[in-house]
Structure 1
Amino acid sequence: MEKCSSPTRSSTRGGLLSCWGRLKLKLPWTKRRSTYKPIGGFRYDPLSYAQNFDDGWVEDGEESTSRGFSARFAAPPSSTKSLNALYTPTQTHPPSHREPHINKPTPLFHLSSFNHHTHHQPRQRQRYRKQAMAMALRRLSSSPLLKKPNSPFPTAASVYSTSSSPLSSQDNKDKSRASWVKQLNEPLEVIDPEITDIIELEKARQWKGLELIPSENFTSLSVMQAVGSVMTNKYSEGYPGARYYGGNEYIDMAETLCQKRALEAFGLDPAKWGVNVQSLSGSPSNFQVYTALLKPHERIMALDLPHGGHLSHGYQTDTKKISAVSIFFETMPYRLNESTGYIDYDQLEKSAALFRPKLIVAGASAYARLYDYARIRKVCDKQKAILLADMAHISGLVAAGVIPSPFEYADVVTTTTHKSLRGPRGAMIFFRKGVKEINKQGQEVLYDYQDKINQAVFPGLQGGPHNHTITGLAVALKQAMTPEFKNYQQQVLSNSSTFAQSLLEKGYELVSGGTDNHLVLVNLRNKGIDGSRVEKVLESVHMAANKNTVPGDVSAMVPGGIRMGTPALTSRGFVEEDFKKVAEFFDAAVKLALQIKANAQGTKLKDFVAALQSDAHTQSEIAKLRHEVEDYAKQFPTIGFEVETMKYSN
């Protein structure tokens, strides 16, 4: 039995003609089996037919279940081959030399071809023509492709309007493309109103709130445009000039320009320093350095997390390895002198002599003072250790030249790019290259960091880089070399100093007693409250800060401190007098937190939150303070968007 199903070709006419060509018609002018003389005097050979259409052959007399006709009138075959493949002269060449099939539209019948053999039988010819056309229409009417609600039988117009001619096929392709191309070019508000609304809410939060988290900033419109550009579309594993994908000539240009600007922004000699701009973020960049320059379980020293360090420097407790760095490497912390709040360099040196680290990290996430890189360099030299400076928080200040640079002393420098540097969310790894020293034989010994670090980034720990981020970083680095950027960083320091002094005047205790950089770390113990509770109240009045551990803390979830910084609000135009007002808002929030704590039904944080959310008097006080904060914040410019374009500007 022949398997003959509905045609699959999108072109109705091409599919039906191909289907009709598969029918083995038993017409009065044909012979039974061996030889056939159909239309136009062409010879049809069953063997040749089987060779050309080996996916279905029906013997005479076999019946089809389609409409009760015999198999020669069965439903169209699944393979929609052209009618030309059937009505061809008898083949004389081997099957292996058959010409390739070309789907070329052919009329269903060349009626004039009947005259070739039946000119002497005009009445019989006319009868045969009517029979053939009737069968054709019956067969065509059974096709689902031509069935329409009001017209079960096709007309010439309906058949040829869906022709597989080149022009019609191109039109169909264009229409098909439009179904997704149009969508891809629709704006966000049309495609996804839900996400659009969330973004608008975040705009309103940034506009009406006070952003005091020191690791945050407001990147520029130009950086956001670069990050949201077509550079996000390209895959580019490898490095400029040595990619594993084609089509990266402009990606190479962007990454090379970013590298060049990175060295220029920090005043580095390209003969002595190199930079990798592909690292995705700060923690990965640190781990990439460790894996590049250390063997598994070699030793690292870094500032302890409760004393201002960072998780990515290998934090662990007495009972648990918190950071994955502490799993793969052996880590030991150095700490602050708790009486002064400064790093205890003497104890660091003693610990290093006992621990003998292979690498020492000079970097912090909550340390308000400057690092003594020269002192740590001496310790590293004694232990023949690598000095890694993590300047993630302070890289913008370093680029502007308003605080000392680690590059004079460090072997490797890592940084994020979105904090004080005010770029997109990425990272950079700087490494020394060139001559390291002259050995005893008078030979030059070169740094071998470049290949090791590049290999650790890719293919060691990453695949393709985020080219849109690298492009945005190039823009931010260009801005970092402008006079406006230096003025901004000077204002960051001045604002931070004023903010710290205002808090001290209000009776707050600061770790180390003040600040030399962009942040202040408030120890709230003398106020009788912790950072977690104050953070909740600050958030409810539209002030964003973060709880933070301070020396002496035993819990990272309920720490004793609050960390605040000046980069974000300075980007919006805040100056010294404004930060005096911010200190007043902060003081009011702490006093409110103390009232809520006193009225809470229990001593746990959840009891505090319940009182915060349920007490009517508390809610009234919070609403009043929030209104004051928002009114003050809304006076200042927004960054990256205009208030007039906001959905929630009221």
Structure 2
Amino acid sequence: MAVTPAPARGGTGRLSWVPDLDVLRRVDPEVADVLLGEAQRQRSGLQLIAAENFTSPAVLTALGSPLVNKYAEGYPGARYHGGCEVVDLAERIAVERAQGLFGAPHANVQPHSGSSAVLAAYAALLRPGDTVLAMGLPHGGHLTHGSPANFSGRWFDFVGYGVDPVTGLIDYDRLRRLARKHRPKAIVCGSISYPRHPDYAAFRDIADEVGAYLIADAAHPIGLVAGGAAPNPVPYADVVCATTHKVLRGPRGGFLLCGAELADRMDRAVFPFTQGGAQMHTVAAKAVAFGEAATAGYAAYVHQVVANARALAEALADEGLAITTGGTDTHLITADTAPLGVDGHVARGRCAAAGIVLDLCAVPGPEEPGGCAIGIRLGTAAVTTQGMGETEMERIAKLLVAALREGRVREEVAELTSGFPPYPDGPTVAEATV
């Protein structure tokens, strides 16, 4: 990973807290090898998982800071533990930056993950047994959208809406009919694999018609929103749940945005109802990411992410894959690999063997059980952070399809990624000794 060697402890007694890989090697070489091995894995392959990205060195520095030592249950100015005067500043900065970035009256930056943010939103607005309308899991819904293996499916009565089996687009007429029939307490707008922008105004209109809260699960598009490359759900949703570790390029974590009228309920739902002490090093890293996302450079980045996704989708279609919805508006692409004679499971395995890392997802197919088949999901956030553009997307498409056809392309993948290291000053191949 990107680390800056720290000066040795000197006669002044000062101990530098800048991460030092050499120190870890001396203290725990086994774990140091794990870190180096993961750095090499990220460096030598194509990281096309839509939910992943590479954080900046500044974010990594915040994550490895002394803030990790501070217990900070509660909120700035009202902590259970003493000594929080300094870490309070970090949280206030993160909150103010999130509010400004997304135009939200209130922000809570403490959720440990996107799922934690969704749990808090449900806890604030719902009671066990309430009916919730959300995208069905076979059509791209998240585990927190009603999976029986998740708290959401055990505590609430979820009704799933889906996409048109031919177009792959959300069927808003059917969504409205389901809302009128089931009269949900809340409607969740969001998906882990929908490549088009949701119509937030339509969701708001349907929610108002049936008296439901509108919860936007914007974990995937929120980074695009920050840079002006996607519509903002804040003016339409009662609550927006999001993550900081996808296109936003921050640390792994979640956050919530809402209006002033729900601020107290949201805060209480996070702490003390669903979480304990905030992870202040992560909160500081979120503040760094929000600050970086407010720059012109970041806006240019997210627009390139979308341009790359469109170029990659077009190139994959030219190579024979069936691209869901015919393209993308965002950073992610979903595709049916059946035209090449393999299902998603086989496709992922062959890509992994070639150093191309991507995910499985459901893709609409009217002839399949449940109306869906298993395809692949990939995203362009990480490779764009590495500096790749449309030309590289065309090459990636050819490498991916060659891998699906059992071509030997791992060396070509490594050659491509060698020119775009995620952390140019990070560990070299020779240092990765796992």
TM-score (norm 1): 0.62
Residue equivalent to 2:411: 627
Q: How many residues align?
A: 413
- Rg comparison, structure with higher value: 1
Secondary structure of 1:401 counterpart: coil
Residues 414-429 of structure 1: pairs in structure 2 closer than 5 A? 414-429=241-256
The answer (yes or no) to whether the contact 1:219–1:639 under 8 Å persists in 2 is no
Is the aligned partner of 1:562 residue 2:376? Answer: yes
The answer (yes or no) to whether the contact 1:204–1:646 under 8 Å persists in 2 is no
Tell me, in whole angstroms, the C-alpha distance in 2 between the residues paired with 1:638 and 1:350.
47
Tell me, in whole angstroms, the C-alpha distance in 2 between the residues paired with 1:641 and 1:417.
24
Tell me, in whole angstroms, the C-alpha distance in 1 between the residues paired with 2:28 and 2:115.
32
Q: Structure 1, residues 190-217: CA drift from partner, whole Å, max 9, x if none?
A: 1110111111111111111100011000
C-alpha change, 1:375 and 1:561, in structure 2 (3 Å) is: same
The answer (yes or no) to whether the contact 1:286–1:313 under 8 Å persists in 2 is no
Residues 171-210 of structure 1: pairs in structure 2 closer than 5 A? 187-210=23-46
TM-score (norm 2): 0.92
Q: 135, 138, 143: which one pairs with 1:303?
A: 135
Q: Structure 1, residues 290-348: CA drift from partner, whole Å, max 9, x if none?
A: 11111111111111112122111113xxxxx2322011111001110111110000000
Residues 307-322 of structure 1: pairs in structure 2 closer than 5 A? 307-315=139-147, 321-322=148-149
The answer (yes or no) to whether the contact 1:224–1:640 under 8 Å persists in 2 is no
* CA apart distance, 1:548: 1.4
Residue equivalent to 1:581: 395
The answer (yes or no) to whether the contact 2:94–2:109 under 8 Å persists in 1 is yes
The answer (yes or no) to whether the contact 2:138–2:370 under 8 Å persists in 1 is no
> For residue 257 of structure 1, what is the amino acid of its counterpart?
I
Residue equivalent to 1:454: 267
Residue equivalent to 1:87: none
Residue equivalent to 1:548: 361
Residue equivalent to 2:124: 292
Q: 505, 508, 513: which one pairs with 2:321?
A: 508
Is the aligned partner of 1:391 residue 2:218? Answer: yes
Secondary structure of 1:333 counterpart: strand
The unaligned stretches of length 5 or more in structure 2 are 1-12, 14-18
* CA apart distance, 1:487: 0.6
> For residue 164 of structure 2, what is the amino acid of its counterpart?
N
Residue equivalent to 1:382: 209
Tell me, in whole angstroms, the C-alpha distance in 1 between the residues paired with 2:343 and 2:113.
30
* CA apart distance, 1:527: 2.5
Is the aligned partner of 1:232 residue 2:68? Answer: yes
Secondary structure of 1:337 counterpart: coil
The answer (yes or no) to whether the contact 1:529–1:560 under 8 Å persists in 2 is no
The answer (yes or no) to whether the contact 1:491–1:575 under 8 Å persists in 2 is yes
Secondary structure of 2:235 counterpart: coil
* CA apart distance, 1:554: 4.9
Secondary structure of 2:405 counterpart: helix
The answer (yes or no) to whether the contact 2:103–2:234 under 8 Å persists in 1 is no
Residue equivalent to 2:304: 491
Q: 421, 426, 434: which one pairs with 1:642?
A: 426
* CA apart distance, 1:529: 1.3
Residue equivalent to 2:91: 255
> For residue 194 of structure 2, what is the amino acid of its counterpart?
Y
Q: Structure 1, residues 569-606: CA drift from partner, whole Å, max 9, x if none?
A: 000000000000000001101111xxxxxxxxxxxxxx
Residue equivalent to 2:405: 591
The answer (yes or no) to whether the contact 1:203–1:646 under 8 Å persists in 2 is no
The unaligned stretches of length 5 or more in structure 1 are 1-177, 179-183, 316-320, 434-446, 593-620
**Which ranges of 4 or more aligned residues in structure 1 deviate by more than 3 Å?**
552-556, 643-646
Tell me, in whole angstroms, the C-alpha distance in 2 between the residues paired with 1:629 and 1:401.
32
User: What's the % identity of the aligned pairs?
Assistant: 40
Tell me, in whole angstroms, the C-alpha distance in 2 between the residues paired with 1:393 and 1:570.
16
Q: Structure 1, residues 472-523: CA drift from partner, whole Å, max 9, x if none?
A: 0000110000111001001001000100110111121011111111111011
The answer (yes or no) to whether the contact 2:164–2:364 under 8 Å persists in 1 is no
